[in-house]
Amino acid sequence: MAEQNTAKQLTSQLWAMANDLRGKMSADEFRDYILGFIFYRYLSERQEMYLEDLRNQNVIETQEGETLNDAYARQTQSDGIEAWREDISQSLGYVIDPEYTWASLIARIRDQSLRPDYFQAMFDSFRQNAELNATAEKDFREVFSDINLADSSLGNSTAARAKSLSNLAEKVDSIDFKDESGHDILGDVYEYLIAQFASNSGKKAGEFYTPHEVSRVLAKLVTYADPTSEGAEVILDVNKDFSVYDPTCGSGSLLLTVQKELPGSEREGRVRFHGQELNRTTYNLARMNLMMHGVDYKYMKLRNADTLEQDWPDGVDENGIDHPRAFDAVVANPPYSQHWDNTETHSI
């Protein structure tokens, strides 16, 4: 309970921060900036943890007075950046170049050496590097596409917009996403923050967020099993993989709640996540949300697609037949008021 309260407290800080920084923007518009920057920090710090492991293996060495980020920059200069990009992207699914890590960003802001076009170059670099891992590329492709760096609400010039984004980055950097025991609660904070934006979006909230109470009821229903019932083994045997699909996954909160209710969910790869989401912005939120809850890209398959037009799109086989996909559980909180042209092409 203390961990939950700490997450709520940090969310309150971030929400107050968002209100202070967003200026002329609505909370709904500012959402993409603050959530995107938190996710970028998460990815960068996760990469730094990977570099820390390499340092423990003596693959990378820090000299006296040097930070790990400094050592990363120095060794990529001496070894060539391509080899490092290849290694990190194959391990993490993405890679952030030394000059665009979160530590480098904050250092440039503090010593006032940040050039106006830095943020554009930073996200361009991430997008290009995401293509290096063919398996993970779809999970990181255009994940920051909703951060509109040219939005005049941020400022009337490139320099003014860079200043606004720098202020946001500094505020995000000031938050310690740890509870009193030192445990990382970033995923919980992110989920609370999504819920906060949803509650301030009025009736539009249902497009991207299912209230936790509803999610929990659905999750308990699909993860309950009588030991004597058919199909109980995949739920009760923690060594088996459990696949779950949400055809209207929104920000992924329902998928994550299923994971929390499933026995043995702490085992990596225990849950295989599948989801489709029509709205691109919400689809990006889902990818961020799952990863920030520790879901590795290898265990998630999310698609930006219209389930009403085509269910899980495995595609046709060599005989032109599109076989249905089976999952251990299917959950959904669909957009009930969505208009659907139920023509003959949609009939079963």
Q: Are residues 9 and 60 in the same domain?
A: yes
CATH number of the domain bearing residue 59: 1.20.1260.30
- Give the other-Cβ count within 10 Å of 200's Cβ: 14
pLDDT in tens, 162-171: 999 999 999 9
Percent of the chain with pLDDT over 70: 91
Confidence of residue 343 (pLDDT cuts 50, 70, 90): low
Percent of the chain with pLDDT over 90: 61
Residue 180 pLDDT exceeds 50: yes
Q: Are residues 261 and 292 in the same domain?
A: yes
Q: What is the residue-averaged pLDDT of the chain?
A: 88
| Domain boundary pick from 132, 165, 198 | 198
Contacts of 289 (CB under 8 A, 6+ apart): 187, 190, 191, 194, 251, 252, 253, 256
Q: Are residues 192 and 209 in the same domain?
A: no
Residue 121's pLDDT is 97
pLDDT in tens, 37-94: 999 999 999 999 999 999 999 999 999 999 999 999 999 999 999 999 999 999 999 9
Please answer whether residues 223 and 331 qualify as being in contact, where contact means their C-beta atoms are separated by less than 8 angstroms.
no
Q: Which domain holds residue 57?
A: 2-198
- Give the other-Cβ count within 10 Å of 293's Cβ: 18
d(CA 271, CA 140): 20
Q: Are residues 27 and 157 in the same domain?
A: yes
d(CA 313, CA 296): 22
Q: Are residues 142 and 169 in the same domain?
A: yes
Segment 92-117 mean pLDDT = 96
3-state secondary structure 154-199: HCCCHHHHHHHHHHHHHHHHCCCCECCCCCECHHHHHHHHHHHHHH
Q: Are residues 59 and 192 in the same domain?
A: yes
Q: Are residues 222 and 185 in the same domain?
A: no
Provide the token pair at 160. 């003014």
Supply the pTM of this predicted model: 0.88
Residue 3 pLDDT exceeds 60: no
CATH number of the domain bearing residue 214: 3.40.50.150
Q: Are residues 250 and 289 in the same domain?
A: yes
Q: Are residues 257 and 337 in the same domain?
A: yes
d(CA 299, CA 304): 17
| Domain boundary pick from 161, 183, 198 | 198
Q: Are residues 137 and 65 in the same domain?
A: yes
What domain count does the chain have? 2
Provide the token pair at 98. 């030394």
Please answer whether residues 133 and 179 qualify as being in contact, where contact means their C-beta atoms are separated by less than 8 angstroms.
no
Confidence of residue 18 (pLDDT cuts 50, 70, 90): confident
Q: Are residues 242 and 163 in the same domain?
A: no
Q: Which segment of 42-51, 175-184, 254-263, 266-275 scores lowest on mean pLDDT?
A: 175-184
Q: Are residues 128 and 164 in the same domain?
A: yes
Residue 348's pLDDT is 47
d(CA 165, CA 310): 39
| Domain boundary pick from 159, 180, 198 | 198
